[in-house]
Every structure is written in C-alpha cells, then in structure tokens.
Chains A and B, each alone.
Chain A
Amino acid sequence: MPEKVKLFINGTVHEVYKGTRILDYLLSQDIQHPHVCYSEILGPVQSCDTCMCEVNGEIMRACSTVVEEGMNILTSSELAKKSQEEAMDRILENHLLYCTVCDNNNGNCRVHNTAELMGIEHQTRPYRSKGYEVDMSHPFYRYDPEQCILCGRCVETCQDLQVNESLTIDWESQQPRVLWDGGKSINESSCVSCGQCVSVCPCNALMEKSMLGNAGIMTGIEDDLLTPMIDLVKAVEPDYQTIFAVSEVEAAMRETQIKKTKTVCTFCGVGCSFEVWTKDHEILKIEPSENAPVNSVSTCVKGKFGWDFVNSQERITTPLIRKGDVFEEATWDEALDLVAEKLGGIRDQYGSDALGFIASSKITNEENYLIQKLSRQVFGTNNVDNCSRYCQSPASWGLQQTGGIGGDSGTIKDIAGAGLVMLVGCAPGEGHPVLASRIKRAHKLHGQKLITVDVRKHEMAERADIFVRPKQGTDYVWLSAVTKYIIDQGWHDEEFIQKHVNQYDEFLKKLAPYSLEEAEKVTGITKETLIQMAKMIHEADGTAICWGMGVTQNIAGSHTSAAIANLLLTTGNMMRKNAGAFPLRGHNNVQGASDMGTMPNIFPGYQSVADDEIRAKFEKSYGVTLPAKPGLDNIQMLESIDNDELKGMYIVGEDMAWVDADSNHTQAMLEKLDFLVVQEIFLTTTAQFADVILPGVPSLEKAGTFTNTERRVQRLYQALEPTGNSKPDWWILQQVAGRMGYNWNFEDPSEIFAEMAGLTPFFTHCNYGVLEGWNSFNWGSPDGTDTPVLYLNGFNFPDKKARFGLFDYVPPFEFPNEFDLSLDNGRLLEHFHEGNLTHKSEGLQYKFPKVFVEVSPELAKERSVKDGTLVRLVSPYGAVRLPVLVTDRMEGKSVYVPMHSASHESAVNLLTGGAFDVVTNTPAYKQTKVRMEVLEKEGENPLPKFNPRHAKRTPQMGLEIYRKWERGDYAPISSVNEHVQPGLYDRRNA
C-alpha cells in the first residue's frame, strides 16, 4: 500500500495517498471543482486554467499539483475563485453561449456545465471572432474555430492517446486554432477519422455531422432565422445563469427525444463499448465514455461512424422463400414451417449428420449457444462450427496445448503495460485500431519497445524499433531459433520452467536443429537481427506477443502458435501481468462463438462432446441422447456436400461464399445442397443460394452479450426496434426449435445466458446482474470467477503445470513456378471483412471506394505498371481484376489485396485455396501464389487523394502547452507554470 499524507482541504483534515493529484482526489470525494481540459485518461493538459486552488497561499492548478504533507488547500477562497473566474472569462472570449440552439446542448457540455457550476453571470472580455471559416470538408465531422476554446484536448488525444499525430495548435500565431497536418483541410489531412477529437471536445467546436441540425429541439432552424435569434439573445444580454436555465429546459426536452443506449462495437474483436444516441430509428452519434472498460473514450472510424448499414434500404426485412428463379416474400409462419418440414425431412430420410449448422461471430453469445443447442438437441448432430475456423482456431489450439486455455493471457492493459510488444503477422493499426493506439501510446510516452514481424510494412511496422520481414510462412523457425538462443545464453527463466512447465527436456531436443544460421537460411532474417530480438525479450520487463492471421492462416498456423507460447513459457512471460500471449480476435464475438460451443467437438466452455460425464450433464439438461462423436467442421461440411452426404445447411450471419477460401468451390458446394436456410440481414452472396432466408437483426436491434479478444463478456442493450418484419436471431432460433417440437420458452436473452452459465464452469459466477451497464466479466478460471489475467493460480491442467508444445515445422505450400508472386491479403482500416456492412456507408466508401492490389516499387518497375494500371491476378483456383497501387509498404515479389470485396470481379478468396492448417483445417489463405497480367496500362489511382494514406503526419509530444505560456501576451494565472507531459501520469498497468 502506498503511503498517505495528511493535508487540509477547506479546513478539514484529509488523508490522501502520496502521488495523488489534487483534482483526482477532489473528484474521487465528489467535491465539485471546476475543470474543463482535464480528463482522467488524458491527464493534466493544463490549458484551461479553471481548476485553480489556493495552495499554501499560492495559486496552483488542481489538475497537475501533487498532494504533499501538511498542504493547506482552499478550493473556493476569494483568491481561488477570482483565478477560476479569470480563466473562464478567457475561455468565453472564444466561445459564444448560444446553448439553447446548439446541437451540443445535451446535458454533457463541459464548457456549459463548468460555467454554470462556477455561477458565472457576465464576462468582462466580450466574445470576439478569430476570423476563420468553419471546416466542413470531412465526411464525418466538422471544426468551427469560432467556437473553439483552445483547450487542446483534441490535440492531446490525437497526438498521445490515439497517436495518429494529425492535430496541432499553432500557439505562435496571432489567433491560434487547431490545425490538421499543419494547415490542410481536414479531409485532405492524415486524419484517420477515429472521431476521438470530437468525442473529447468539451464544447461544440468539433461536432459529428450527423448531429448538426438534428439533436436539438430548435437546432434544425435555417440560418436566416437562427442568426437573428442568436443576435436577440446577445442584444437582450440576460445574465448567463438565465441562459443556462433556459438551455437546461431545452436539454431536458431533448432527453425525451434522444435515446442513449449502451452497446458493444461489432467491427473487430477489441470490444469497444459506447453509447449510441438515437432519435426514432435514426442514429445520431456514437458517444464513448470513460467508463468503458476496454476503450474508454477511444473509437476507430468504423465504430464511431460506420453504422449506416443498420438503416440501409437493402436490409432484408421479411422472410423470403425461393420460388423458381426469384425469392418471394413470405410470412414467418410460412417460412418457419418450411424450414422445419425440410430440415426435419432430411434428418428423417438421411439421418442427423446429413445436416450442418454454421454459427456466426457477429451474433450474440446467447444466439451462438442456441445454435449449438438447435444442432445437438433438436437435430441430433455435432455438425456445428463457426468462422473461427477461418481465422483463429490455430491460435486457440496452440494455447490450449500449452497453457490449457485458448484465449488472450490478459487484457488490453497488459499489452499497454508490457515492456516489449511483439506483433507477429498482425496489423492492429488497420484491423484493431483502438488496441493499436494503446501500443502506440506506450511506445511514444512510456518507453515500451516494439518489434513488428510482417511481410507488409504497415503503420505498426513503421513505428517499430525493429521491423522484420521474414519469408512468408516461416515464423515457426525464427521463433524457435530465438527461443533456443535465449536458452543458450542462459537468459531463460529456469526457475519458472522447473516449477511450472512440463516437457522441458523433450522441448530442448525439439529445438536443437534451430540454430541462428539455420533460421537465417529459412526465414531470411539475419543472425544479428535474431540476436537483437532475443536481447530485447531478455531485457524487457514483460513481453506481450500479439499475433493474427499472418500466423494462423498457414499450414503450420497451429504449430507456430504453440511456438509462440513456448517462447513465452521459456522466458517466464506467462502467469503474470503485463506479458503473455494475445491472439487478436478479428470479430466482435469470434471468441464468444467458440466459447459457446458452436464447434464440432465441444459443448460451451470447451467441454468435450466425447467426455461421457460432460455429455451426461448436457443430456440431462436437454432431455435427449446426444451424439458422442465430434461432428464436421466448416471445411469438412463442404467436402461432405461434395460426397453427397451432407444435404441440408443452416447458416447464420456468415457470408461463407466469400470468406471461405476458394470461393468458386464454396459456391459450387452451396449450389449442390438440397436445402439451405440462411439467417441474414442482407441478401449476401451466400443468401442468394438459400431456399429460405430468415431476416435477423444487427446488434443495435437486440439485446445480448459479446465476448471480446480479452475473454471479456459485455452486455449490449437494444437501441432500436427491429426493422420491418425482421426478428432478433435468438427469437428465430427458438421458433425453429418450437416447430420441431422443442419448447425452449426463453422470454429474454438473460434466461439463455443463465442456462448456459449453469452448464459451463467458466461462467459459474457470471450473470446479467454482474454485467449490468458498463460492467464486464473476463472468464478464464475453472471455478468460474472473473479472471482478467490467466493462470495466476496455475495453468489449466490437472497438475496446474503448462506444457511445452512439441510440434514440428511444416514448410509452406508449394506452387507451380508460373505463379511467381506471393499474395498477402487482409483487412484495411476503413472497411470490415468482405464489406457487406461498411460498403453501405457513404462516408467510408468516399474515403475508400474500392479494393486494389498493392505492388512494390521494384515489381512495378519490372512489370511496367503504375498507380491505376488494371491487372489480372491468376492463381490455380481463380482470377480477379484489380487496379494497381504502387507502395513501399510492399517489397519485392509480394503483393497485397484487401479482402473488402463481395464481387466476382475482385474478391480475394477467388484466388486462395488448396492448403489447410495441419491440425485445425483453417485454410492457408496467406500461402497463395499468383501471376499478374497487365490489362490496361492507364487508369485512375484507386485510392482517392483525400485518403489519409497519402498525407504526412505532424507528430509532436502532445499539446505543447508551454508554447502558449511563452507567448508575450499570456498573463499567468497560476503562481507556477511547469510543463508536465500529460500522458506520463498514466502509469503502467501497476
């Protein structure tokens, strides 16, 4: 426990932990005290000056002054109040109070609330214009310099929290304002539209465009009426308390129109939670909160602005039945009766295993649970799987073999707190943006080291201390060589290994062939670099390894995942905070889908279907005999269709036609089915093959829980009514079961969760009460308690000890020589997956309209192609046509194609196929080779000039408030103006 100091606040004695800042303490004690620029997550920005206190007779900022023994703090002495009022007067010189007709008057405007709290009635400095135009150039938000109070929260956030480093304030100019890339329009700047500057703006200077003219009772008024109204308020000059009172009435009226609902983002596995503000069925904005356990105020462009798909006109909103060569609209009764009749018929004629069920990483835990229940209880088959088969199964397997649990070792805080982060085959700056921001911040401010290993030089590669480009598919080899070198140097954690890890001797034998020389030969990474990597791991206080599809989508993906775990076990980087294994889950509920048992060999909570005792437990609950033999996975189901054994499928929320490898083959298989049910929100390519389409709903139109990459379960609440005749997916599944004679009788998702938790030890102590509001629960202990960090009480094996994985290297899949280019593929920031959701957003499409192939400058020269050249890429499985983008992100004969297409022209999975992970059957998407044919030399650059990738960032250390103090015209209010780097205060995950 840290020491406490005794001090006086307004004459009363308080005991406060050493190192606490005055403002933090006041707020923790619910002592109201003015402050505008401060935030717990940003730290003391020191720009607004409104938090002044009298400390031992001197005027000091409460936000940056640390408590000391015997301090005498007066928060509202005459001196303190005068200073606070002077500060507010300077703010109001920059900001016109037309609150009642302002779209930001929603009860949470900090400038409004602080001025009111302070009892401000008049200002001595009149408002004056800065003389700048409003910047409306960006599709999602606008900046109004005339209302900007220059607090710099946005700059601090952009520079040191999101670390995109686009925003600055030109403190030296006559009239400072916020600048993008030093003075470009927002739209043409390096801004990645994460929206965090808007979220932290304490007034209406930065606003979401979706709010403008929309949020208030009177804010939709045209300018020619609005301006005179503002003039009227000015002419009448009521005191501000009157203005505040009127605006509060208006804000209260808004409350009746605007619904604020906590939800969880669905665009990756990080698990950002926030409020969504809605008016009827319209989405006004996403409002992050410091209460959110994973992301706090952070979002990325998709989470903040990418929700247009929910109200898309293309939504399927009524059940559809195939009739000849069209889909006809049907009633729920007609559609459900047909589903039951046909699936039941196939079961009766060909047996249960002629059916297959595909769950979804998009839908809730409750719905995934019901899909496995439908498959097992109602239809009697273990043929049920989910899309983790396409991405993360190898990582889960590797971790289950070594530590016993297939999930992240810790939370995002442990990644931020690690001494060294290694990114292997993942590009979190593109795919997991908020998680990446925490690494960038730790790297920029807190001395964290970063090693990035990838074939593509993405943002996190540019920022890394070491960037390594191994030959594709050889990660196992360098991981083993680095591990061996560490042991050879005696840098391993012998005590940890002896105490906690089995199979050490066998492991040493396995490692023997992997000398540095051998590794250099296989991977192309120099010996020196390998040594440097080993050294950095050795020197770091905690190494966290994050990996993604670059590792798992290989034929040795599962073995390589085990090799990562081996390295961490060797160095004692498990069973502790700020270290460990972090497979970055790509979808909002890909972790949860597997946790809920939508896999052919397990019940919920990874309980084996082959285990008699466990099966007996489920048989008792479900009232039927359950099959003991594991079922078919996604890949095997397709094979089984080919062999005329699988006749019917039920696919929920998964565009299998495009996300499985070798799309031509997948689609041929879907075509071959006797009967296909697809539960969807859009007429996806997969749905086009269906016999019946059942319209489910997106996350905002239902309640439930998702589980993120940290194994964290979070609740989402229903924000909107289902569109048209669509229904929550859990309701639909229950109806199908009911038609088949099984009355589940769930009235609310909480009851489904309770049934699951009752059967699943990991969730014993988790329920909807525990998960209320912003609360969450990390599963990971056999006793079912909240477990943010895994294994602190031992590994998940009977003897509590981990095991070194003893698995071999499998060299990459070989292609005929004519396929001379290595095809990398994956996600980029602006879009999600094959684009069914994000392509519905006008703004995202504007910033990133179409996919392309990234070609290295060397290859471009050799093949005489340039930006916009149309080429055909041909693999043994198919061909696509794409425009070229020449970039040094690629090197040599590697090319990169983003996966964001659901078109027969350009979808990358027309090219992939053939090879699979040796253990889990995950397609080796990353081991694909193609040849390139030039079709049309001249063409338009596929990446618009206003895409941020073309712009140059303007990095600096935060707001640099001291430059304001250095201005000749700055009259200090505080007795001391000492610059502290605001973010340095947020200590590592101690």
Chain B
Amino acid sequence: MAKPIQIIKKVELTEEQKKTQSLESLLSEVAENKDSLLDTLELLQELHNSGILEALNSLVKAKEEVAKIAVGQMTREPVTNLINNAMAAGGALTTLDPEMTSKLMGSLAKGFEKAEEGLRSNSKVGILDLLKVLNDPDINRAIGFGLNLLKGVGEGLKE
C-alpha cells in the first residue's frame, strides 16, 4: 500500500559539510589550474603594490555613476566637437595617397639636408641669385609644387 507522498525531505547539509564541499571543489580547481593561478597571483601582487588594484576596485564599484559622468562629459558640445574633429581629420588623412605622402616626406628630408648645408656656408643671397636659381630644375619643381598646393587649399576653402 503506497499512499501518495507530497513531501520531499531534502538532505540538509550542515554548515560544516557545505564548507567542506565548497573547499573540496575549490581545491580540485586549484590543482587543475596551478600554473595560470600562480601567474595571476603574481600579476595581482604587482597591481596591488602599484595601487592600481585599489583604484580599479573603486572604479568598478562605482561603475554606473562613473559611466554616467563619462557619457555626460562626452555629450558636452566641446567634446562632441573634439570627437567630430578627430573623426574628420582621420577621414581627411584616409583620402591622401600614401605613395605621394611618402615621396613628400622623403623630399622634405632631403630639403632639410640641403638647407643645413646652405646655413653652414653662410653665403648671402641676392635678387639676382633668386632669379638665377629659378632656372635650377630642382628648385623650379619645388616652387611649382608649392604654388599648386596653395591653389588646392584655396579651392578647398571655397567649398
């Protein structure tokens, strides 16, 4: 005769048993992950010594508030301007031809070299010297480049 039963008697672990169980499972995890745990401990010690851990702790505890402040700051117009500027500048850079940029940088380096040589010779430049050097193909090329650059900037400003 098996009367229906609705009561389940749970195995009630004593506090002591629960503790032992937790410790046992923890120990087996520790044994399995010895190397990574040791590394982690070392890292934690470093972070603690440098005070970073303490700062992080507070930051995480106050994460909601901090996030609100951060987002609040970021939505201020100067900051959104900054972000927009950075993004625009970034965008402009992406349109440049990298080959041209590297050529230009190379030429500038060479230019500095020559200029330094000139400085060292300490010679005076007269009007006639200026007209004369216009015929120098290297200088002519550089002036042409400069004039066209100015024209492009002017066009860009018009838009």
State whether B2 touches A689 (Cβ < 8 A): yes
**Stretch from B48-56, B68-76, B131-139 contacting the other chain:** B68-76
Q: Is A422 an interface residue (CB 8 A)?
A: no
Contacts of B75 in A (CB 8 A): 228, 231-232, 235
Contacts of A683 in B (CB 8 A): 6, 8
Nearest CB of B to A523, in Å: 43
Bits for B70-114, please: 1 = Cβ < 8 Å to A, else 0. 011011000010011001000000000000000000000000000
State whether A225 touches B71 (Cβ < 8 A): yes
Report how far A690 CA is from B64 CA in the complex, Å: 52
The chain B residue with its CB closest to the CB of A237 is B84
Contacts of A672 in B (CB 8 A): 1
Q: Is A775 an interface residue (CB 8 A)?
A: no
Nearest CB of B to A876, in Å: 24
Report how far A407 CA is from B148 CA in the complex, Å: 85
Give chain A interface residues in 685-715, CB to chain B under 8 Å. Answer: 685, 688-691
Q: A224-B68, A228-B71, A229-B71 are in contact. Are A327 and B80 (CB under 8 A)?
A: no
Q: A232-B71, A329-B8, A329-B11 are in contact. Are A691 and B84 (CB under 8 A)?
A: no
Contacts of A51 in B (CB 8 A): none
Q: Is B7 an interface residue (CB 8 A)?
A: yes
The chain A residue with its CB closest to the CB of B64 is A225
Q: Is A938 an interface residue (CB 8 A)?
A: no
Q: Is A505 an interface residue (CB 8 A)?
A: no
State whether A688 touches B4 (Cβ < 8 A): yes
Bits for A294-330, please: 1 = Cβ < 8 Å to B, else 0. 0000000000000000000000100010110111110
State whether A325 touches B1 (Cβ < 8 A): no
Nearest CB of A to B26, in Å: 20
Nearest CB of B to A285, in Å: 27
Counting chain B residues whose Cβ lies within 8 A of the other chain, the interface size class is 20 to 34
State whether A327 touches B2 (Cβ < 8 A): no
> How many cross-chain pairs have Cβ atoms below 8 Å apart between A and B?
68
State whether A238 touches B11 (Cβ < 8 A): no
Q: Is B158 an interface residue (CB 8 A)?
A: no
Which of A235, A328, A673, A691 is in CB contact (< 8 Å) with B80?
A235
State whether A326 touches B87 (Cβ < 8 A): no
Q: Is A667 an interface residue (CB 8 A)?
A: yes
Give chain A interface residues in 648-698, CB to chain B under 8 Å. Answer: 667, 670-673, 676, 683, 685, 688-691
State whether A326 touches B4 (Cβ < 8 A): no
Contacts of A222 in B (CB 8 A): 64
Nearest CB of B to A163, in Å: 44
Q: A228-B68, A228-B71, A676-B2 are in contact. Are A236 and B83 (CB under 8 A)?
A: yes
Contacts of A323 in B (CB 8 A): 9
Which of A229, A238, A316, A670 is in CB contact (< 8 Å) with B2?
A670
Q: Is B30 an interface residue (CB 8 A)?
A: no
Report how far A329 CA is from B5 CA in the complex, Å: 14
Give chain A interface residues in 195-232, CB to chain B under 8 Å. Answer: 221-222, 224-225, 228-229, 231-232
The chain A residue with its CB closest to the CB of B65 is A225
Report how far A328 CA is from B12 CA in the complex, Å: 11
Q: A225-B68, A236-B80 are in contact. Are A667 and B4 (CB under 8 A)?
A: yes
Which of B1, B7, B9, B71 is in CB contact (< 8 Å) with A671?
B1
State whether B84 touches A325 (Cβ < 8 A): no
Contacts of A322 in B (CB 8 A): 2, 5
Nearest CB of A to B10, in Å: 6
Report how far A673 CA is from B2 CA in the complex, Å: 7
Q: A224-B68, A225-B67, A329-B11 are in contact. Are A232 and B74 (CB under 8 A)?
A: yes
Contacts of B8 in A (CB 8 A): 316, 320, 326-329, 683
Give chain B interface residues in 1-40, CB to chain A under 8 Å. Answer: 1-11
State whether A326 touches B9 (Cβ < 8 A): yes
Report how far A316 CA is from B6 CA in the complex, Å: 12
Report how far A671 CA is from B2 CA in the complex, Å: 5
Report how far A323 CA is from B75 CA in the complex, Å: 67
Give chain A interface residues in 326-356, CB to chain B under 8 Å. Answer: 326-329
Report how far A704 CA is from B64 CA in the complex, Å: 45
State whether B68 touches A325 (Cβ < 8 A): no
Report how far A985 CA is from B30 CA in the complex, Å: 63
The chain B residue with its CB closest to the CB of A316 is B8
Nearest CB of B to A710, in Å: 39
Contacts of B68 in A (CB 8 A): 224-225, 228
State whether A326 touches B67 (Cβ < 8 A): no
Nearest CB of B to A733, in Å: 22
The chain A residue with its CB closest to the CB of B72 is A228
Contacts of B7 in A (CB 8 A): 325-327
State whether A688 touches B80 (Cβ < 8 A): no
Contacts of B3 in A (CB 8 A): 325, 671, 689
Give chain A interface residues in 161-175, CB to chain B under 8 Å. Answer: none
State whether A688 touches B74 (Cβ < 8 A): no
State whether A688 touches B5 (Cβ < 8 A): yes
In this complex, the member of B1, B2, B6, B7 whose beta carbon has the largest number of chain A beta carbons within 10 angstroms is B2
Nearest CB of A to B95, in Å: 14
Report how far A662 CA is from B7 CA in the complex, Å: 25
Give chain A interface residues in 69-111, CB to chain B under 8 Å. Answer: none
Give chain A interface residues in 275-298, CB to chain B under 8 Å. Answer: none
- Nearest first, the 9 A-B pairs at minimum CB distance are A688-B4, A329-B11, A326-B9, A235-B80, A326-B7, A327-B8, A228-B71, A232-B75, A328-B9
B residues contacting A by CB (< 8 A) are 1-11, 64, 67-68, 71-72, 74-75, 80, 83-84, 87
Q: A322-B5, A688-B6 are in contact. List 7 more A-B contacts (CB 8 A).
A: A222-B64, A228-B68, A236-B87, A238-B87, A327-B8, A671-B1, A689-B3
A residues contacting B by CB (< 8 A) are 221-222, 224-225, 228-229, 231-232, 235-238, 316, 320, 322-323, 325-329, 667, 670-673, 676, 683, 685, 688-691
25 A-B pairs with CB atoms under 8 Å apart are A221-B67, A224-B68, A225-B68, A228-B68, A228-B75, A235-B75, A236-B84, A322-B2, A322-B5, A325-B5, A325-B7, A326-B5, A326-B7, A327-B7, A327-B8, A328-B11, A329-B8, A667-B4, A671-B1, A671-B2, A671-B3, A676-B2, A688-B4, A688-B6, A689-B3
